A and B are shown apart, each in its own frame.
Chain A
Amino acid sequence: MTEDLELERISEAEWTLAKRGEMRVPGRVIADEETIAQLRQDTAEKREWNALQQLRDVACLPGIVGEALALPDVHPGYGFPIGGVAAFDVKDGMVVVGGVGFDINCGVRLLATPLDRAALTSRADDVAKGLFETVPAGIGSEGNLRLPMSEIDSLLQQGASYVIDRGYGLAEEIEFIEENGRIEGADPDAVSTIAKQRQFRQVGTLGAGNHYLEVQEVAQILDPEAAAAYGLGKGQIVISIHTGSRALGHQIGQDYLKVMEEASRKYDIPIRQRELVCAPITSPEGSRYLSAIACGANCAFANRQVIAHLVRSVLHRVFGMSPSSVRTVYDIGHNNAKFEEHTIDGEVRRLLVHRKGSTRAFGPHCAESPAAYRDVGHPTLVGGTMGTASYVMRGTELGMTKAFGSGIHGAGRYLSRKKAAKKYWGEEIKSDLATRGIILRAHSTRGIAEEAPGAYKDVERVVEAATRSGISRPVARLVPIIVIKG
C-alpha cells in the first residue's frame, strides 16, 4: 500500500500521486512540506484514517475527470479527504455522499462594518454579550423563526431570498452570495418529512463544533486592488459567520447514505470505501439526491442570512447602526456538489464538482462573480482558529485550469478532538485569549478545548502553500477580537 501512495514532487507546493491500479485519474496534492510529511507518516504507520488513501480511492470512482485534488488544508475525513476536490462528467460520472457530507453547504458569510478597532473596543463587551445572547448556538439551542412545513418547502426552493423577503436582510445583498443564495433544481419532495421537522427549531442557529461567529479586524491588506473591490480596508472591523444547513442537511445526508448504499449495489459501482457510496448523476437516485443537496444548500444560505440579520440587530442596539451599513462582502460554501462548466484539454465540459472542505474560487472575469468583483474574481473565505487569523483570498486563472476553480476553506485539523481535549483546558484557552485582547464566549467549555488553536495546522502555512501553487492569492488577513462558539 505504501508504494501505491508514493508522492512525487512536481513544483514548490505540488505533488502528484501517479495513476496506478484502479485509479482512473492521477491525484494531486497542493500543500507545504510539513503537510506532505504528515501524509507520508500516516501512510508509513498504516493509520486507518489516511487522507492520501482517501484521495486515491476517490480517483478510482467512475466518471472522475482531470485529477483528484487535495488542497493545503487536507486532512483525513470520511470517504473523501477534507480539503478534497473531485469533478465528474455529467454523463457517466457519480454523485458521492462522502464528497458532500452531512453539513451540506456549510460555509462562511463575511460582513463588513464601518467600525474600526477603537470604536469597537469601547463597547466590545456589550457586542460580545449581545451576540452570545442573540444568536442561538450550542447543543439544544432553538431559533426564533419557526416555519410550518409548507413554508419550509418555500425556503428550500428560494434559499436566502425567502428570508430576505420576510425582513431578514437586504435585497441588494443577494448578489454577494454564491449562486445568488439559491441553487437551481431544489425539489422539496426529495427531502424527507423528518428532515423538515428537524429544521423547525433550527432556522437561524449557529450549531456547535467548529462553527463560530467572529468579530475581526482587517489586520493586513495583501492585495490592494482586490481589497478595494471588496470594500475592505486596513483596521476595518468585519464579522465572519461559519455555519451550515443544520439538522435539515444532516438528515438529508443520513437519508441518502442509505439510498446511495442501495444504488451502489444496484448499479454495481466499484467503490473502495463504504463512505464513497454513490449513484450515477443521471440515475433517478442520483438526480433525486442532487435535488435534495440543492435544498440543503439553500437552507444553509438562508441560515447564514438569518444569522447576519441577528448580527445586524445587535450592532443596531449597541451602536445605533443601520442594517445597510453592515454590508455582506461575500457568502460561500465549502461542502457541496455543484454543476459547473470547466475547460479540460481545450474542451468546455459540464461537470459535477464535489468540494469537501474546499470552496469555489473562480478567478477574474468569471460571470459567476458579482459585477463589482468581476475584474478580480469573487472572494474566498478561509476560516482560521479562534486564536490565530482568518483570510480573505481570491481565485486565479491558474486555479481555474489546475483546480477546477477551487480554494482552501480553513487551517485544517491536525490533532484529534480526543487529543485536543486531553492537551488543552477550555478555561485556560479563554484566559490566554483574554490576555491577547480576544473575548471568547462559548456555550461549551469542552468544545473550546476541542477547538483549541493548537489542534489546527498553522493557517499561515496553509495560505502560503495555496498562494505558492498559484491557485489562490491572499487579499486580507483578519484577526479575531470577539469569538462566539457553540
Chain B
Amino acid sequence: MSEGRVKMAFEYLDHVSDVCIRACGETLSDAFCEAARAMFNVMVDIDQVAPQVAVEVRVSARTPDLLLVEWLGRLLSEKDLSGLVFSQFSATIRQRGAEVALVGSARGEAFDASRHEAKTEVKGVTYAGLRVWEEDERFMAQCVLDV
C-alpha cells in the first residue's frame, strides 16, 4: 500500500484511566510510524533517544486496524527483549493475500536514566477506540494504550 519515512504528527486524546493516541500521516505507513512515536513518547521523551540500533519487525493482520495493534504490540515486546527504547520507525505496508502485512524497523538505544526522561510504562495496546481511517487526504491511526 505505502512506504513511510516522513515525520508527521501525533496527539493524545483525553482518557480518564489510560492514554488514547491519535497519529496522522501522508501515507498509512507514516501514520503507523507516528503512532509508534506517540506510544514511545508515553514512556520516554523520544527527542532524547538516539536512533543508534535497529530492530526489524514483521507483522500481519486481517485488517489495517488490527495491524496497528499487532505493530505497536510487537514494538512493546521488542522494547523488553532488546532492552532498548525507540524513537525512529520505518514501515512498508502491503496487502498480502487476505492479510495486510507490515515490514518495518524501529531504531533506538538502551534506556539510560541519566540521559532519558522516564515517564509512564505502557502495558498493552487495546482494541478500545481502535480506528484506522482516511480523512482529508491523510491517514489516521488511533487506539487506547493501557498504562
Contacts and interface: CB of A to CB of B under 8 A. Distances in A.
A194 B59 CA distance: 14
Interface string B1-36: 000000000001011111110000000000000000
Contacts of B20: 49
B16 A443 contact: no
A257 B127 contact: yes
A419 interface: yes
Contact of B128 (A250, A254, A273, A419): A273
Contact of A450 (B66, B120, B146): B120
A161 interface: no
Interface string B72-111: 0100110011010100000000000000000000000011
Contact of B127 (A208, A274, A416, A446): A274
Contacts of A249: 123
A75 B18 CA distance: 11
B126 A275 contact: yes
A320 interface: no
A138 B81 contact: no
A271 to B, nearest CB: 10
A447 B118 CA distance: 8
A139 B43 contact: yes
Interface string B103-147: 000000011110011111101111111100000000000001011
A76 to B, nearest CB: 5
A392 interface: no
A102 B85 contact: no
A188 interface: no
Nearest to B18: A78
B44 interface: yes
Contacts of A273: 127-128
A67 interface: no
A244 B32 CA distance: 29
Contacts of B113: 138, 140, 443
Q: How large is the interface on A (under 10, 10 to 19, 20 to 34, 35 or more residues)?
A: 35 or more
Contacts, number: 137
A446 B121 CA distance: 12
A198 B127 CA distance: 22
A273 B131 CA distance: 13
B120 A198 contact: no
A209 B42 CA distance: 11
Kindly name the residue among B18, B43, B120, B123 whose own CB sees the greatest number of chain A CB atoms within 10 A: B123
Contacts of B121: 139, 207-209, 486
Interface centre among A101, A417, A419 (most CB of B within 10 A): A417
Contacts of A201: 80, 83
Contacts of B147: 209, 417
Contacts of B44: 139
Contacts of B123: 101-103, 209, 249-250, 253
B126 A49 contact: no
20 contacts: A48-B129, A49-B129, A76-B15, A77-B18, A78-B128, A78-B146, A138-B113, A139-B111, A140-B110, A197-B80, A209-B123, A251-B77, A253-B124, A254-B73, A273-B127, A417-B120, A418-B14, A443-B113, A444-B117, A444-B120
Interface of B: 12, 14-20, 43-44, 66, 69-70, 73, 76-77, 80-81, 83, 85, 110-113, 116-121, 123-130, 144, 146-147
Q: What 6 A-B pairs have minimum CB-CB distances, sorted nearest first?
A: A140-B111, A102-B124, A78-B128, A274-B127, A208-B121, A102-B123
